[in-house]
Amino acid sequence: MLRYVALILLIVLIALEVKLWAGQGGMAEVWRLEKAVAEQKAQNERLKSRNDALAAEVENLKTGDEAVEERARSELGLIKPGETFYQVVESTQPANRGNDGGR
């Protein structure tokens, strides 16, 4: 009789171990969820730093004239009254410097 009780307890223990490691809500799922949480936290940090940078840029554009002026000059090509705009265009062909290769 004691053998049967010990055998039943052993079977129950094995079943509980299997459920603990492989069943729903088991350790494998806990590890998977912990990894997903860590990845989400890392992504949240990246997005938070990006949002902070954008918020700082918005605040700078709202309060600082220099930032607005810089944007107008670089993105729209605007100039102040009295300034002269010069555009330098680089040649696509190499310049001939009077050296004909020793001919």
**pLDDT tops 80 at residue 20:** no
**pLDDT tops 60 at residue 100:** no
Domain count, the chain: 1
Residue 53 maps to a domain: yes
Picking from 25, 2, 29, 4, the residue whose alpha carbon sits closest to that of residue 12 is 4
d(CA 92, CA 98): 18
Residue 69 maps to a domain: yes
| pLDDT confidence tier of residue 1, bands split at 50, 70 and 90 | confident
Domain span including residue 70: 47-80
pLDDT digits (tens, 9 = 90+) for 28-46: 888 899 999 999 999 999 9
CA 30 to chain CA centroid, nearest Å = 26
d(CA 21, CA 29): 9
d(CA 62, CA 79): 20
